[in-house]
Structure formats: C-alpha cells, structure tokens
Amino acid sequence: MRIQLGATGGPFTVASDIIAKDGFGALYKGLSAGLLRQATYTTARLGLFNGFNDQLKSMNGSNPVPLWQNAGAGLAAGGLGAVVGTPADLALIRMQADSTLPVAERRNYTGVGNAITRITREEGFMGLFAGCAPTVVRAMALNMGMLASNEFAKESLDGLGLKKGTKTNVCTAAFISGFFASAFSLPFDFVKTRIQKMKPDANGNLPYKGPVDCALQTLTKEGPLKFYTGFPTYYIRIAPHVTLTLIFMDAITQMQKKMGL
C-alpha cells in the first residue's frame, strides 16, 4: 500500500523507514481491520465459490467443469464477498495510510470498531462502502485468478501424471494459483487503494471522480505499468496467502468427507 501511494525504494527500504519513524508495531497498523476483513470477505467468497462449484459439478455430471464456468463462479463469488468485506477493507486502507498524511489531516482511528463507528457518524452509513466498486472488481479478478486457475491447474496436472486429490497435485496447483491471483488483481487493487485513501482538498474537491477516472488519469499521466507498482511486494503478500488458503481448504474438505459431512 505504501509503495502504491508513492513511497520510494523496495519493500525492505520502505519497511525500514516505517520502523525507524513509527516503530516495529507500525508494520501491523490496521491488523484488527485486516482480521475482520478476512473473517467477512474471505469466508464469504470461498463459501460461495464452493457452493457454485458444487452446482456446476452436478450440472456437468462426470465431466470436468469447464474453465469458463469456474471463471464465472469465481467472478460471482468474489464480487458478492467483496460487498460484505468492503467496510473492513476501507478501515484497513485508511488505518495503513494514516501516517502518510500530514499530522493535521490524520484520522487517528484506534481500531476497526472505532473506524467503522466514526465513518458511519461522519460520512453516513453508505460511507462504509466508499470504493466498493473497485473493491468488487478487484475481488472478482483475484477470485477468478485464484479459484478458476486452481481448478484448471488440478485437471491439467492430473493429465500430466500428478493424480488429482494427492498432496503434490493440491500444493502445486495452489502455488500456480498464487501467481495468477496476484497478476489478475493488482491493477484493480492499485485503483482501489488510491480511491479509498483520497481526501478532499481545501475546496472540497477529490482528486478522482471515481475508479474509472482514477484509472484513466493513471493511464494517461503515468502509463500502464504504473498499475503494477510494487508487484514483487504484492506477490509476496498475496501468493503465500492464496497458496495456504487453497491447501487448507482442500484439507478441510477431505476431513469433512471422512467425517461423512
């Protein structure tokens, strides 16, 4: 997030600067919001995708679910899950970005509960959904890249001799999905971060009219590669999370089958 907003240097340089200025604990700024985001957005999108995928498997009988159907299920589950998780995601971005603002302009949220309460009081209930559109699009891209590629990778690896259902197949497919989830979602995450962080100037004007305006301004003024600012750092953040999530999700599914659930 700091790199996307213009911090200079690589991830280690940025992390060193944060620690030097605000202490080691600043690396965990917004942790409460991050945990709430995972508890709402991640559980919703994974649960929805599993439900959609089960329906697709039933519709296709013994045939593998086509990639385009898995992609559609991933898009729908990601979008719906993102709506649920937007308030926590907004609080997370603002809490992380707070120290980049001048002292007089900082929001100084004390935690996710304080953030959500103050946003509701100061901006109205719909203020909790600021940046919802780019958040939904970003989640749809990430979910499609993560879940559709995972199912496709499992089928492809099975054809190459890595039998579907084995630990090798599951882990390799999950690792592949981590890359596609990162590559598909970063441009949308970049726009989402800029939209959710922005504040009005002295005249009450915002720097962007919306996500489309933000994307167009970024494209025309800074070029297409700007959307991939901080990709190595973003990959290190997203890929392990995606990989472990898919591995644990498969393990839970297998455990449920053994218990007859």
Domain boundaries, the chain: 11-258
Over the chain (261 residues), the average pLDDT of each successive run of 10 is 78 89 89 92 88 88 80 88 93 88 88 95 92 87 84 87 87 92 90 84 85 93 92 89 88 84 70
Q: What is the 3-state secondary structure (H, E, C) of 90-106?
A: HHHHHHHHHHHCCHHHC
Residue 40's pLDDT is what? 92
pLDDT for the residue 167: 87
Instruction: Give the whole-angstrom CA distance, residue 139 versus residue 145.
Output: 10
Q: Give residue 192's pLDDT.
A: 86
Helix extents (H) in the chain: 11-22, 31-37, 43-60, 67-97, 112-123, 132-143, 149-159, 167-197, 211-222, 231-258
Neighbouring C-beta atoms of residue 70, cutoff 10 Å: 23
CATH number of the 11-258 domain: 1.50.40.10
State residue 54's pLDDT score: 86
Q: What is the pLDDT of residue 50?
A: 85
